[in-house]
Structure formats: C-alpha cells, structure tokens
Structure 1
Amino acid sequence: MSKKVSERIAREVLKHFVTYRMLFKLITDMAQQRFEQEQWLEIQQAASDRIDLYEQQLQKTIDSIACIVGANACEKLLWNEIKVSYIGLVCQRNDSELAETFYNSVYCKVCKHRQLTDENIFVHSLVAEHEVLSRHAIYRSYSVEQGLVGLIGEVLDDCGFDVPWENKKRDVVNLTRYILQHMPLEFDAGRMVSVDVIRSVFYRNKGAYIVGRISFVGGDIPFVIPVLNHNKRVYVDTAISNQDQVSIIFSFTRAYFMVNVDAPSEFVSFLHSLIPSKSVGELYTSIGFYKQGKEEFVRDFIDHLGCSKDSFVIAPGIKGMVMTVFTLPSYPVVFKIIKDKFSSSKRVTRSIVHERYQLVKRHDRVGRMADTQEFTNLILPRARITDELLEELRKVAPSSLVVEEEAVTIKHLWTERRMTPLNIYLEKVLANDDSSAIFHAINEYGKAIKQLAAANIFAGDMLFKNFGVTRHARVVFYDYDEIMYLTECNFRKIPAAMYPEQEMAAEPWYSVAPNDVFPEEFTILTACNVKVRKIFNELHGDLLDVKFWKEMQEQVSSGEVVDIFPYRQIQRFTR
C-alpha cells in the first residue's frame, strides 16, 4: 500500500470524526434553548439522537474506506502507517483523545478486533495524563472581596440565560443562607480564596446545573446549583455541596448531560478534581462521550489487572435465566453474557435482549437503571479465571467463548457497575433487624418502580434479585431482558373465578395475552417476609392496583414529563 493511500485513509477517518464532533456540538448547543422553551420531550429525543451519532458516523467511515480500497480492508491496509499519518493530523487538536478513540473504533470494526497492538491502534493514548493547556477557559474565578451577595449575583448573571429569573433576589438570599449554614467557619475566618465555576451550564432533562468549587486554604468544596424553569422563568431550586450528593448527580444511572465541551481532557480533569470518587471514564460518559468512557475503562481495567492478583468468579446472587454474570472482586464491575439457551419461562431471544439493552442506553434512566458498556471480543487472562467460572461459562454460553492456553476471549458481553443485589441486601438487614435500613430499601424499591413507570418503562420481572443497592443506598434496576414501554402494557384486573375449582387449577381460568399485566400478582414480590410485605403495602400498596398503572399510562401518553431530580425533595429551597 502506498503512503498516499495511508494518508488518504487517515484523512477520511478524521473527516468523519470532525463531522461527528460538529453534529454532537450542534445537538448539545441547542440544549439551552430547549431548556428555556420548556421543550421537555424534544430534550429526550435530542439525547437519544446524540447517542446514535457515533455509530452512524462510524459506519459512514467504514463505507468510505471500502470505496477506496474495496473488500478485505484489514488485510490490504498497513494500519501502522495509517496511524502515523493520523497522529500528524490530530496531535494539535484539543479533542485528540476523542479522535484517537474514533480511530480505534474504525480499526476494530474493519479488522474484527484482531491484532490490537499499539502499533496499529491507540492502546495507550498519546494525550498526556492530566494535561492542562488552557485551564482559564474551563472556568471563571470569582473573588469574595466583593461580598458574598455580590459574588452569587454575578455567578447567576454569567449563566447567560435568555429568559428572565423568576425572583433573582430570593435566589441570592437562599444561596447566601445555604452557604452560611453549611460553611460558616470558613467564611467567618475569611479563609476562602476563590469560587471557580465551569463556564458551560450542564443541561439534563428538565434541569440546568451550575457546577463549580469553593476553594479554601484547607482544600476545595464542590458544589452544584440546580436551576429549573417554570413558565419560561428560571429559578434556583437548591444547592448541593456534599461530595457524595454531587457524585449522585453525575451517576451512571442517569442520562448524559448536554454541556458545551471544547477541550474534553481538560474539562474532565477539572470535574475529576471536584469528584475524585468518579473514575475518568465515568466522567467522560456523564457528559455524553460514552465511547471515550469505555476506552478509559479498558485502560484502567488493564492497569488494574497488572497490579492485582485475585481471580474472576461467578457473581454473588441468584443465577439469572437469560444472562450469566461474573466479576473480579477487587474491581467494581460485573460482566454479563447472554446464555445460549434460556429458561422455558422466558419468551425472549438473543436479539430481543440486545435490543432492550440498547433501549436502556438511549432512554432516560431517571436514576433507576444502570448504564452499560457493550464489548466485542474482550480478552481475559486464563490464569485469572477460576475453574468453577470457566466450567459455568462453558456450560451456559459456549458459543461466546474462545478458550486458549493463555487467554479466554468472550465474543460479546456487557459491563455494568457492581451493586449489592437487593435480595442479598435485605437478607442481611433483616438478619440484623435493622428497621431503618429495611424501611429505606423497600421505600427505594417502590420509588424505583414508580419512577421508571413515569419514564415510560415497565420493569417486567420485578423480583428483588433484579435490583441492586448502590454505595449511596439507592435501589437501581439492572435486569433488562423483560422491560418494555409502559404504554405497550395492558394492565388488567384478574377476573373473578366462576367456581372454586378454577382457582385451584394449575393454569389460569382466564385468557392471558403477551403484554397483559396483572398488578394483583405483584404480592408475590414481597411474600418473602411479613415485615417487608407490611412496609411495602403501607408505602407502595398502590402498585398492586390497576388504577395506579392506568393513570400512569395516561400521564405518559399525554406527553407529560414528570419531575425526577437527583436530590431529595427536602433539600429544595422554598419559593
């Protein structure tokens, strides 16, 4: 292959990457207008459309390469030469790490994940870690010398909303009161150095978020100021300065933010300084660069394998009927593989499961569904896989495995943040008779089901084993093989039996269509324990009533987008 062809392919990859970035920015830049005009349904559609952009541009790149060199591009092209040419094209870009990842995606698609070496792809990024080229462009700095009230007013003005504040004076008072209540010693002692606020406002669903930090001699305090819109007038809803609560706002269970990011590595570096508990990969994902998040995850995972010694094992909990799940105890992730054969009670196929995981990726997760990353041909060291796990994989998913002496290749899987299965969590707190934890878990479980319903998702199989408890004690749904849109369900009341023998029969005495749902049957979900059943019935007994579900269907069908914010109702300011 001539050098000219290598350079042409490199330019073709870059051309489609630039188009991807342009379209991504176009959708993102409209976030402020959608928020200000209260275009809630359009916001959800835009989020979905933006996720689709990557694969669309990737496929166009593949098609372009095929037009240039024909079939078998992997064999015909010298990718090490293409990579050298590509480096020269992207090394000065302020989003070069994204450009590297796009190149990797192209190579993997063309070469079917073969020969994944640094010679052919960017196994290691050439972007220096934590490189900061223009930090001043990421955020504005404010001094407290002008007084706290003046500082807060200036921060709100700099958001640049094109609609008026509902009552700016009230919002300034609320924020001033919050700061003095939560950080009185720092301000009384005059220890504050500055306030740094990210120039770009973060948009997601029905909220806009001002993100920054307060810097003191003794350290930094992150903060998030949620701004809402009512009748095209904006107002400050609350302030969050607890690092765990700030982390929840950037959770893997929520939709990706729309935020203007010119230099991603610098932007993520600043975010990481605010929320060090979040990995770099999670932060890239949270602002919409989910492929970069996946790339950062892979690099971190490889590094972790190099400095750890534990083995991959079957994940704790009840085994699933559709997926088999394993984990590395020292790493906070589970790996999920579709089984070759499903239980006879499951009316799904491999393609349906895949579609439902894609649905979750593109849908508003409202803080109640875990995000996933999809992998093809993931290679794991054979020595780190227990015999028990390998035997299980060979038994339930042999078509997904390639077992060699040194490595095990899994042809297709998803990764997901590891959580404690709700059934295991409840067993523990019930054994300890921890009434507060039991109450909280069951309340969270019911709220998760209701909030998913408000987002037009019916969880389907709502057994405790299909929900997890996060480190923040939030209950999250993570088993997607039976989910469907709420509006597609037919909620019915079980008809009365005509005579006693019907109730005793093994089969129901009434017809049941594929999408029929009988909420009365949900009583089986809490039949495990009298205390659990009592709490559930008191807090969420309406989930057993057809009326609740039909009303929720009507609400969703009418186009109403329910307010589900990543903080508690009690934290909201008085208006």
Structure 2
Amino acid sequence: MTVLFADRIAEAVLEKFADYRTRFQTITAASQLRFEKADWHAIQRAGAARIDLYEDNTEAAAAAIIEQLGEVVYDANLWHDARRCYAGRIKLRNDPELAETFYNSIYLKVFRHRELDDAHMFIRSDYEGQQIDTGDRLCRVYTLDDGLVAVLGRILDDYAFNIPWENKRRDICNLVYFTRKNIPRSAIDETRTSIEIIRSVFFRNKGAYIVGRINFGDRPVPFVLPVLHNGNGALYVDTLIVDEDDVSIIFSFTRSYFMVDVNSPSEFVGFLHSLIPMKSKAELYCSIGFYKQGKAEFYRSFLDHLDSSDDRFIIAPGIRGMVMTVFTLPSFPVVFKLIKDRFSSSKNITRDLVKQKYQLVKRHDRVGRMADTQEFANFLFPRDRFSPELIEELQKVAASSVQVDDGLITIRHLWTERRMTPLNIYIDEALANQDEDRVFHAINEFGKAIKQLAAANIFAGDMLFKNFGVTRHQRVVFYDYDEIMYLTDCNFRRIPEPMYPEQELSGEPWYSVGPNDVFPEEFSILTACNPLVRRIFNELHGDLLDVRYWQGMQDQVRNGEIVDVFPYRKLKRFPR
C-alpha cells in the first residue's frame, strides 16, 4: 500500500510539474511577439506573471495532493519511497534538475519546512555536475570562410524577426568597424575561427539580445548583440558587447529575468557559464527565469563552501539596520538578512509588510539598481561556525526567528542577497584616501540609481548611503527595501514657509505631514556628511532636491512612459 501511495505522489507531482513547465514556456514563447509590437507594458506584466506562476502552481499541487491522499500524506516515510519513484520517472526528461526542485517545493509546503533531509527530498541533486544533452543543437555555428561581412549578413538573416531591419547595411558596417577595432586581426582573418550563437533570442524589457562566443586561441570571446525597436515598426543593432565584465553586467543579479526559450536548462546554463565563468550557475539559472532552481543551486554551493572553509559568521559590515539584522560569512559573497522582533519607533512597518516589500522587488523591473534576493524558511547553520557574540546578537534582536540547539542554528525565515560594499563605507574610504575621482563616481552612480528607480516607478524611501551598496563592477545598487514604495503613491510637496521665526527654530515641523508625504528639499541631509560630497551631488543631481523633478517623473510614469534603461553605457551604442 505504501508503494502505491508513493507512486501516486510521484505521478501527481510530475503531472503538476509538466503543467507548470507548459505554462512557463507559453508565457516565454510570446516574448518575440510582444517585442515586435513594442508592447512594453505587456512585457512587464508577463515577467511578473511568470514569477507568480511557480508559487501558484506549487501551492495548488500541494493542496491537491493533501486532499487526494488525506492524513497519510504526512507520513515522512511515504515520501522516502515517493522520492525514489519520482527520480525514476524524471530520468528521461530534459529538465530533471528543475523537476527535482519542483518536488522539493511541494514537499516543503506539505511539511511546512520540517523533516528536511536528503532521504525525503532532493537536497543534493542526482544531476549535480551533469549537463543533459538532448541531441538538439543549442547553437548555430558560423565560420569566416567567406569573410566577416558575409558572415555578419548571414547572422542578421538567421536572427531576423517578423518586422524588418531599419537599415541592415548600416548595422553590418557598424559591426564590421567595431569588430576590426576590438577583436584581434588574426582572429578575424583566421579561417579556423568560429562563431557559436545560441539559437534562442533573449528578451528583457525593451531589448532583444543575441548571445554567443567567438572561438579562437586559448579562450573564447563572449559577446552579446542587443537589438532594439525603433518605435516605428523596425529594428536595429544597438551595439556589440564583447568585454567579459560587460557581458556579466547584462546577466546581473540586479536586473529582471530574461524571457528565453530553453530546451535543456543544464546545457543552456553550462554554455552561459563558459561565457562568463565568474557568474555562478545559481545566478545564471535565475537570470533566465528559473529562480527557484537558482535558489536550489545556491544552497548546494553554500553547503559545499561550508565543507571547504573554516571561517566564522559575523555581523555584516556597515551601520546596523532598524528593521533587519544582517550577518555574513567573510569567505562567501552573500549576506543573510532576517527581520528583527522589534523595530525602531520611527519605523511604521510590520513583519508582513516587510515581506510584501521584498516580494514587490522580486516581481518588479529592477533596472539594474536593486539586488535580487532569495527567501528561505528553516535555514540550517552549523552552530560551531557562529561566535558567541553573534549568537547573542541574534537572540537579542530576532529571538522569534532563531532557534539554537546543540549542533545547529535554525533561522526560521531569512533572505539571502549578494554582498556589496555599503556605499557609506565606500565613500568614507575614498574621502580618507583623498580620491576625488572615486567620490565623484560614487555620488554620480548614487544619483543615477535614484533616478533610474524613479523612472521604473520606484521610490526608495530611506535614501541614506547605508542603504545602497557598490558592486564589484562599481555600480551603486539599492538593497534595503523596508521603506520602498511606488513613486506614484508618493505625495511630493514643498516645505511651506514658516509663518513666524519661532516655527522655523522649532525642532518639530510647523506643517502637517501625511503618511505618503515626501519633501525633496530634505534630501540635502543625505550629503551633509562632507562639503565635497555635497558639492558633487548638487552639481550632478541637484534636481533631486526640487519637487518639480519628482512630480515630472510621476507624470511620466502615469502617462505610461517606460524609460530606456539598458545594461550597458551610452557610449557603447552605435551611431544611427
């Protein structure tokens, strides 16, 4: 009887997984049509819908299995057999690692994140380190036998859309000029040089991206070819990105997930990893929309890192937050964030509202300026890797979320996020070293981050430097979301003139302040730390202190305008 029930669980989970994959692929498959129609709002809605799809399907699947089997479903031993039956059923699939993760999600929903071990779920994948080769050709391959111009023409023909190129000849000339300037001449003239390009086009926001590599010498050169819509029914090649760091930024954890047709995910991610090896496979799975698989890959890499390291977890560098407490492992480039039990009296927020803010960021266009996060329940840590001071701190500020046992520390709810250098620390170090160029860059990036978020209908709320980080690519990114809100929900106001001197000298405002009122003049406090910082900010982004700027951005968003925020610098763009 146990075997029968186990097989029914395996069959039910696989049926729900197949349904999820079909729906996922249906949303993704419409990407090209949305792009060709320049339906940018539909693209944003589709991205959010595809993120919601996973949670909706696993919730429904878990509920259906519980209803179908009744109380017997809570027998953990039954799931030991179900795991074995399920593993046998997914062997011939081209996405077995995704199928394992889907099974894990349903198991966790049934058992409410208890009974976590590899006997009942796939904590370690049966396919770790493997690439599933389906026999389909992942890439188109080109040689330079007929010369550079001819091969570029063939590439644009092979990746043609259902609307025309604006000026194909001009685009080819731009590509030839760029290639001869940036790729070694020996590679261009070498007939053994080959170009491999993924057959599927990557779609995100207002861009389509053709991704591949040029094979010559000891190491291939990755490239990304962005294609944009001119708004009048035609397309053009905007640039060619060949620098590995620039390619990495296009796949950044600060950007929305790509819409791209993927047949064999492990093979697809393996190819991407060969282009940008500094990107973890967890990040690459996330970048193409499989964010739950990215979460699973992250957790496995974390377990491996614990086995190969011996340093201890510490409170993360920076000013301690009033809503979240954050710790990190110095040798691992991630921070762990959990909600405090009590907030500062200045914070009018609840635990549930914090969770909603993080979900908002997950579903929203992050425009390269907000860090992606992964949410975990009952995350287990070895106690001997925590100092007594850190344990004491966690129990002091977040006791309801922390369980300390003899050998383990369990965090009942947390988020993981890429570790960055806090902007306040970055600026302080630059000032201490009298590095004005570095200060200039940081303040310029800070202002651009705020403006690009505003263009995406996001108001950061608490814009202190401590709530922003600097990535390894020197980009400034927002990462503290407890006060984030939609720009269009804000009421931007000027500070009224005081009626008499005593009001101005008062420590309290002499005017009424509503819950969503924002006074841009007060942002000057952000740069009060240093005269140089203030001068640079006022020169570059002084408009952020003017209520008219923010009201203008609100009008722009309400009118449905979607601003171009591309993952490469303007100076990289080809002339038109």
| Cα offsets for 1:409-433 (capped at 9, x unmatched) | 0000000000000000000011111
Aligned residue number for residue 105 of structure 2? 105
Displacement of 1:193? 2.0
TM-score by length of 1: 0.99
Q: How does 1:480-499 map to 2 (within 5 A)?
A: 480-499=481-500
Aligned residue number for residue 452 of structure 1? 453
**Structure 1 counterpart of 2:153, one-letter code:** G
Per the alignment, in what secondary structure is the counterpart of residue 521 of structure 2?
helix
Aligned residue number for residue 119 of structure 1? 119
Aligned residue number for residue 150 of structure 2? 150
Distance 2:135 2:145 in 1: 23
Aligned residue number for residue 338 of structure 2? 337
**Structure 1 counterpart of 2:552, one-letter code:** E
CA separation of 1:539 and 1:12: change in aligned 2, threshold 3 A: same
Distance 2:262 2:332 in 1: 30
Aligned residue number for residue 55 of structure 1? 55
Distance 2:445 2:191 in 1: 39
Per the alignment, in what secondary structure is the counterpart of residue 42 of structure 1?
helix
Per the alignment, in what secondary structure is the counterpart of residue 399 of structure 1?
helix
Per the alignment, in what secondary structure is the counterpart of residue 410 of structure 1?
strand
Displacement of 1:133? 1.5
| Cα offsets for 1:225-265 (capped at 9, x unmatched) | 00000112010000100000000000000000000001000
Q: Which moved more, 1:516-525 or 1:58-67?
A: 58-67
Task: Please say if residues 132 and 264 of structure 2, whose CA atoms lie closer than 8 Å, have aligned partners that are also in contact.
Answer: no
**Structure 2 counterpart of 1:311, one-letter code:** R
Distance 2:219 2:175 in 1: 21
Task: Please say if residues 247 and 275 of structure 1, whose CA atoms lie closer than 8 Å, have aligned partners that are also in contact.
Answer: yes
Displacement of 1:217? 2.6
**Structure 2 counterpart of 1:485, one-letter code:** Y
Aligned residue number for residue 464 of structure 1? 465
Q: Superposition RMSD on alpha carbons, in Å?
A: 1.1
**Structure 2 counterpart of 1:152, one-letter code:** L
Distance 1:53 1:43 in 2: 15
CA separation of 1:361 and 1:416: change in aligned 2, threshold 3 A: same
Distance 2:452 2:205 in 1: 14
| Cα offsets for 1:438-473 (capped at 9, x unmatched) | 111000000000000000000000000000000000
**Structure 1 counterpart of 2:33, one-letter code:** Q
Aligned residue number for residue 84 of structure 2? 84
Aligned residue number for residue 404 of structure 1? 405
Displacement of 1:399? 0.2
Task: Please say if residues 201 and 208 of structure 2, whose CA atoms lie closer than 8 Å, have aligned partners that are also in contact.
Answer: yes
Per the alignment, in what secondary structure is the counterpart of residue 220 of structure 2?
strand
Per the alignment, in what secondary structure is the counterpart of residue 145 of structure 1?
coil
**Structure 2 counterpart of 1:212, one-letter code:** G
| Cα offsets for 1:178-204 (capped at 9, x unmatched) | 110001333365275200000000000
Q: Which moved more, 1:154-163 or 1:273-282?
A: 154-163
Displacement of 1:322? 0.1
Aligned residue number for residue 476 of structure 1? 477
**Structure 2 counterpart of 1:335, one-letter code:** F
CA separation of 1:189 and 1:339: change in aligned 2, threshold 3 A: same
Aligned residue number for residue 203 of structure 1? 203
Q: How does 1:162-181 map to 2 (within 5 A)?
A: 162-181=162-181
**Structure 2 counterpart of 1:321, one-letter code:** M
Distance 2:166 2:197 in 1: 22
Task: Please say if residues 130 and 269 of structure 1, whose CA atoms lie closer than 8 Å, have aligned partners that are also in contact.
Answer: no
CA separation of 1:410 and 1:76: change in aligned 2, threshold 3 A: closer
| Cα offsets for 1:508-542 (capped at 9, x unmatched) | 11000000000000000000000000000000000
| Cα offsets for 1:283-323 (capped at 9, x unmatched) | 00000000000000000000000000000000000000000
**Structure 1 counterpart of 2:464, one-letter code:** L
Q: How does 1:210-249 map to 2 (within 5 A)?
A: 210-230=210-230, 231-249=232-250
**Structure 2 counterpart of 1:89, one-letter code:** R
Displacement of 1:84? 1.2
**Structure 2 counterpart of 1:508, one-letter code:** P
Task: Please say if residues 2 and 78 of structure 2, whose CA atoms lie closer than 8 Å, have aligned partners that are also in contact.
Answer: no
Distance 1:398 1:191 in 2: 65
CA separation of 1:191 and 1:464: change in aligned 2, threshold 3 A: farther
Residue 25 of structure 2 is aligned to residue 29 of structure 1 = no
Residue 437 of structure 2 is aligned to residue 427 of structure 1 = no
Distance 2:248 2:41 in 1: 26
Which residues of structure 1 form unaligned runs of 5+? none
**Structure 2 counterpart of 1:57, one-letter code:** N
Distance 2:333 2:309 in 1: 13
Residue 305 of structure 2 is aligned to residue 304 of structure 1 = yes
Distance 1:533 1:130 in 2: 53
**Structure 1 counterpart of 2:65, one-letter code:** I
Distance 1:476 1:482 in 2: 15
Task: Please say if residues 5 and 78 of structure 2, whose CA atoms lie closer than 8 Å, have aligned partners that are also in contact.
Answer: no
Aligned residue number for residue 537 of structure 2? 536
TM-score by length of 2: 0.98
The aligned length equals 575
Residue 9 of structure 2 is aligned to residue 9 of structure 1 = yes
Displacement of 1:135? 6.5
Residue 96 of structure 2 is aligned to residue 96 of structure 1 = yes
Task: Please say if residues 211 and 225 of structure 1, whose CA atoms lie closer than 8 Å, have aligned partners that are also in contact.
Answer: yes
Distance 1:192 1:378 in 2: 50
Aligned residue number for residue 394 of structure 1? 395
Per the alignment, in what secondary structure is the counterpart of residue 15 of structure 1?
helix
**Structure 1 counterpart of 2:122, one-letter code:** F
Per the alignment, in what secondary structure is the counterpart of residue 208 of structure 2?
strand
Aligned residue number for residue 326 of structure 1? 327
Displacement of 1:134? 4.1
Displacement of 1:112? 2.2
| Cα offsets for 1:526-569 (capped at 9, x unmatched) | 00000000000000000000000000000000111000000001
Displacement of 1:71? 4.0
* Percent identity of paired positions between Structure 1 and Structure 2: 61
Spell out structure 1 runs of 4+ moving beyond 4 A.
none
Q: How does 1:259-338 map to 2 (within 5 A)?
A: 259-338=260-339
Q: Which moved more, 1:510-519 or 1:132-141?
A: 132-141
Q: Which moved more, 1:127-136 or 1:168-177?
A: 127-136
| Cα offsets for 1:386-405 (capped at 9, x unmatched) | 11111110100000011001
Distance 1:420 1:271 in 2: 27
Task: Please say if residues 251 and 284 of structure 2, whose CA atoms lie closer than 8 Å, have aligned partners that are also in contact.
Answer: yes
Task: Please say if residues 6 and 78 of structure 1, whose CA atoms lie closer than 8 Å, have aligned partners that are also in contact.
Answer: yes
Distance 1:496 1:192 in 2: 74
Which residues of structure 2 form unaligned runs of 5+? none
Distance 1:550 1:157 in 2: 45
Displacement of 1:74? 2.1
Distance 2:241 2:77 in 1: 52
**Structure 1 counterpart of 2:435, one-letter code:** D
**Structure 2 counterpart of 1:425, one-letter code:** Y
| Cα offsets for 1:120-155 (capped at 9, x unmatched) | 111211125142524652111001102111111111
Distance 2:443 2:85 in 1: 57
Q: Which moved more, 1:134-143 or 1:527-536?
A: 134-143
Distance 1:555 1:425 in 2: 33
Distance 2:559 2:244 in 1: 37
| Cα offsets for 1:353-374 (capped at 9, x unmatched) | 0000000000000000000000
**Structure 1 counterpart of 2:309, one-letter code:** S
Residue 74 of structure 2 is aligned to residue 74 of structure 1 = yes
Distance 2:191 2:128 in 1: 33
CA separation of 1:76 and 1:319: change in aligned 2, threshold 3 A: closer
